Amino acid sequence: MPFHFANVLLFSATAVLFVLGSLVAGRFLRPHAPTREKSMIYECGEKPIGHAWFNFNPRFYLIALVFVIFEVEIAFMFPVASVYKAFIEKGQGLLAFIEIFVFVAILAVGLAYVWAMGDLEWVKGLKQDVLQSIRDQKQKPLQGKDEKKAA
């Protein structure tokens, strides 16, 4: 048994050394001549216009994350659906169903939370109390000016 672990260890060490050796060799063998054209952003052959670094709406990342989560769910559900009949034939159908139900329920709770927080709305409105506090802040300086004029 230790012989098998030695084979795996030797294979892993060889793989790591090969990768590191390739990276080091590439570092020393490639030409390094930076120019303005080489450091510019390449966008489909078009010359870039404007600044390359701009902020994305954070909601985009949230929508993308929710999409990836449910894509993974679907990737897990297809194999389960294909072998579910085999579980029933073995007498483990109820156990498999409960496991599937718990998995889907956890994801459904996550979706309900994201939905309840309003993060699935692309254009999110401000809450009424936020709008009221903004109005109050705008009125306070006006009231202070009126009091100074009266005095």
Given a cut of 90, is residue 19 above it in pLDDT?
yes
Domain housing 67:
56-129
In DSSP terms, 46 is beta-bridged to 43
The predicted structure's pLDDT at residue 150: 57
Query: 147 lies in a domain?
Result: no
Answer whether 122's CB lies under 8 Å from 56's CB: no
Instruction: Give the chain's domain count.
Output: 1
Whether residue 45 lies inside any domain: the answer is no
Residue 19: both structure tokens together:
């990768």
Task: Give the mean pLDDT of the chain.
Answer: 80
> CA neighbours within 13 Å on the CB side: how many for 5?
2
- 125-149 pLDDT, tens digit each: 655 666 677 777 777 765 655 555 5
71 belongs to a structural domain: yes
- Name the token pair of 129: 């109390």
Torsions phi, psi for 126 (to 5 deg): -80, 150
Do the domain assignments include residue 60? yes
CB-based contacts of 48, cutoff 8 Å, min separation 6: 40, 41
- For residues 103 and 76, is the Cβ–Cβ distance under 8 A? yes
> Does residue 67 belong to any structural domain of this protein?
yes
Cα 77 to chain centroid, rounded: 21
26 in a structural domain: no
Q: What is the mean pLDDT of residues 72-94?
A: 87
Asked if residue 33 has pLDDT above 70, the reply is yes
* Interatomic CA distance for residues 103 and 107, integer angstroms: 7
Is residue 92 one of the residues assigned to a domain? yes
Rounded CA separation 99/90 (Å): 16
How do the residues of the chain divide into helix, strand and coil, expressed in percent and rounded to 5?
A: 75, 0, 25
Higher pLDDT, 108 or 55: 108
Q: Classify residue 9: in a domain, yes or no.
A: no
